[in-house]
Structure 1
């Protein structure tokens, strides 16, 4: 019979594993690898584990909202909180989750109306850089496949 500590450890592992899968689907394997590498010190590792387990494993796997909606909500919240590094990650994630550029732009306009123009303007600058990079990457991929 498993001890209480074993059951808790297994629950954490289950949420972490689910979270890692969702995090990878949304933000991409390269980003997840970099995040986990950067958070590999004894000091930083527990925060990466918490983000993966709680944010991605517990919240992103809940029923009730699809991933695109969660992405657009994250864009709005991160922009409102002035967390531009994370905003860039979630703009890319929103595209991966099927959000259009118009939906991303309209989310940022909503932010500007409710959180202030500086927040919306900065969000647009960050999002546009990410969207330009995605288009450039896709263009490069199309060129290499055509060759």
Structure 2
């Protein structure tokens, strides 16, 4: 097997490991939408990288529970003002067993260390997502 074949096989393995984790955390609708909306020749490699590296390599590592990884992502995305991705990971945190209290306390920590504007915006995003989740459970 050539080195190019080995690299391609490694990419394939990580992608195949990442898809089920990404789906379990963010939900099948989000994954399908992300892959379909970003299926151009230009955008596809970024989705593949996110799936391979983020989901296939990092999220599959031992040492941290998924809930902990979710809460860390909430803090980092909020601190970086990445509110679209924050919404995805709020939902993912709930899927991973995080409570509303744990999510709120994570955002309070963000406010203390990254500034009130980051914490306030994070709370607005989280509140909208959590409300949506509660409404979905009623139907």
* TM-score, scaled to structure 1: 0.93
Distance 2:121 2:16 in 1: 34
Alignment of 1:42-53 (within 5 A): 42-53=41-52
- Count residues in correspondence: 139
User: What is aligned with 2:137?
Assistant: 138
Q: State the match for 1:80 in structure 2.
A: 79
CA offsets 1:53-110 (integer angstroms, 9 cap, x no match): 0011111011110100000000000000000000000000000000000000000000
CA distance in 2, matches of 1:25, 1:83: 21
In the alignment, which residue of structure 2 is the partner of 1:54?
53
Residue ranges of structure 2 left out of the alignment (5+ in a row): none
How far apart are residue 6 of structure 1 and its match? Answer: 1.2
Q: Between Structure 1 and Structure 2, whose CA radius of gyration is higher?
A: 1
Partner of residue 17, structure 1? 16
Please report the TM-score for the alignment, with normalisation by the length of structure 2: 0.99
Q: Mind listing any 5+ residue stretches in structure 1 that lack a counterpart?
A: 141-147
Which ranges of 4 or more aligned residues in structure 1 deviate by more than 6 Å? none
CA RMSD of aligned residues (A): 0.5
